[in-house]
Amino acid sequence: MNNSFLSEKLTNNKKIVFKKIREILGERFSTSKPVREIHGKDESYHEGFKPDAVAFVSDTDEISKILKLCHENSIPVIPFGAGTSLEGHIAAIKGGVSIDISNLSEIIQVNAEDLDCRVMAGVTRNQLNTFLRDKGLFFPIDPGANATLGGMVATRASGTTAVKYGTMKDNVLSLKVVLADGRIIETSKRARKSSAGYDLTRLFIGSEGTLGIITEITVKLYGIPETKSVASCVFPNIKKAVDSVIEVIQSGVPVARIEFADEIQIDAINKFEGSSYEVLPTLWMEFHGSKNSVKEQSELVQNIIQEYEGSSFKWTSKLEDYNKLWKARHNAAYAAAALRPGCGIWATDVCVPISKLSDCILETKKQIQNSKIPAPIVGHVGDGNFHVCFVVDPKNINEINEVKKMNEDLVLRAIEMEGTCTGEHGIGYGKKDYLIKEHGEAVDVMKSIKLSLDPKNIMNPGKVLEID
């Protein structure tokens, strides 16, 4: 059977399947070029690939019907949340249907007495926290972008509060998932612990849409702290700043956030936001708890900071200033991009054991200083995770190759230090090779799991694993 015959057969299958999907969704099924382009490119430097069509689904049953059709006809399926991913997760490398979950936006049930709630996968973290505010509750995971909860589960997101509250894997109790063949499963119940069978919930967390489509999520909630206080301080150099963080963590003080920015990033923020932060390595720390516990925590941390020549704390007490500070932190990538108008951002991240953090950042910084390409560093350094934003001219092949080399060196450096090639961005198609370097033969086990659930490789093909 020749390739042209197979290609023609697949094209005919797509026409038949698309007609059937249109019968299910009506005008919520689109093949328009602008819609397809939006659904083929995330916020990363990676090349985008348009899907053949986009399905705007409204419930789990619709997804199940679509996946059955696609499975029977070997048509790729790519889940799409808010499009904020950073490693090419939503690119339709092999064409197919993009499943847009943004209409799955219902907050189904809040169990305040159990500190949990069930939401549809298209609910965003801002939407959820706005809804919960009057109940005195919040969901703490904060990756910066207003991502969907489904996308946050799929990429095992974390962010600025992970040092105290953990990551998505620590805060998901149960999932509803549609498998490649259209089957619908519940991975667990609401109990806080279970020893009943395989942990399917954790299997799908971080699977990046390669094993199934997440449609409902049960997450843990927390009481809104009585007091939230933010302090900033600066250091004469990066080593002292990072080493102070290591000691703070080792001391056991439950700091809610510890964020780091180097002097290049601070300068970029000042220019972008019109702020006037000191252009020095900087830590931003947030403390949660009662007034007394926050006071005690901050005093302990201040004492440690001073041992590393950190400045006295500058407190942010007004809500307006609080929001402004964290907005500046979350907009760090946009501030970096503004350093070179017309250029793009190659954002990457790694995570290492906290004891290795200083060495990893300093080695990375040394390499950056030998380059003419701006590359601010920011990080959730309380858990050993940091980001580099290379501001690169996408039309300059020499710059692209230089950044590619620096990114590779950074990743290999982290792995050599017993860290990971990505702390929270995920693998997508951008870091597949590094996954092999990090996990070795364990990748073959991952492939076995993938093929047992998705034997035709229709679920987000070309991401995480290379399936022949």
Which range has the top average pLDDT, 225-229, 247-251, 354-358, 402-406?
Answer: 402-406
Q: Taking residues 23-45, what's their average pLDDT? A: 93
Bridge-partner residues for 175, per DSSP? Answer: 217
Strands 222-223 and 212-220: unpaired
The residue among 175, 206, 223 that closes a domain is: 223
Question: At 81, which CATH number?
Answer: 3.30.43.10
Give the number of domains in the chain. 4
- Number of C-beta neighbours around residue 108 at 10 A: 12
Q: What pLDDT band is residue 10 in, cutting at 50, 70 and 90?
A: low
Element spanning 454, H or E? none
What is the chain's mean pLDDT, rounded? 93
Domain-located, residue 373: yes
**Where do the H-state alpha helices sit in 59-212?**
60-72, 125-132, 149-154, 162-165, 168-171, 200-204
- pLDDT per residue as tens digits for the range 416-453: 999 999 999 999 998 999 999 999 999 999 999 999 99
Q: What pLDDT band is residue 328 in, cutting at 50, 70 and 90?
A: confident
- pLDDT per residue as tens digits for the range 380-429: 888 999 999 999 998 999 999 999 999 999 999 999 999 999 999 999 99
Residue 365 and residue 301 share a domain:
yes
Domain-located, residue 464: no
DSSP code string of 359-425? HHHHHHHHHHHTSSS---EEEEGGGTEEEEEEEE-TT-HHHHHHHHHHHHHHHHHHHHTT-BS-SSS
Residue with tokens 């830590």: 283
Residue 76 and residue 60 share a domain:
yes
The residue among 223, 239, 274 that closes a domain is: 223
The percent of residues in the chain predicted with pLDDT above 90, rounded, is 81
Strands 97-100 and 53-56: parallel
Residue 219 and residue 313 share a domain:
no
Domain-located, residue 342: yes
Residue 368 and residue 278 share a domain:
yes
Q: Which residues of 404-440 are buried (b: 16+ CB within 10 A; e: fewer)?
A: eebbeebbebbbebebbbbbbbbbbbbbbebbbebee
Q: What is d(CA 50, CA 92) in angstroms, rounded to the nearest whole number?
A: 6
Domain-located, residue 422: no
Domain-located, residue 401: yes
**For residue 363, is pLDDT > 70?**
yes
Residue 179 and residue 54 share a domain:
no
Residue 94 and residue 183 share a domain:
no
Residue 38 and residue 114 share a domain:
no
**For residue 129, is pLDDT > 70?**
yes
Residue 155 and residue 248 share a domain:
no
Amino acid at 95: G
- pLDDT per residue as tens digits for the range 60-108: 999 999 999 999 999 999 999 988 888 889 999 999 999 999 999 999 9
Residues 283, 240 contacting (CB under 8 angstroms): no
Domain-located, residue 304: yes
The residue among 82, 102, 122 that closes a domain is: 102
pTM: 0.92
- pLDDT per residue as tens digits for the range 163-175: 999 999 999 999 9
Question: What local confidence, expressed as pLDDT, does residue 6 receive?
Answer: 47
Residue 151 and residue 74 share a domain:
no
Q: Taking residues 214-230, what's their average pLDDT? A: 95
Q: What pLDDT band is residue 5 in, cutting at 50, 70 and 90?
A: very low
Question: What local confidence, expressed as pLDDT, does residue 72 receive?
Answer: 95
Amino acid at 104: L
Residue 96 and residue 138 share a domain:
no
* Domain that residue 39 falls in: 3-102
Domain-located, residue 217: yes
Domain-located, residue 409: yes
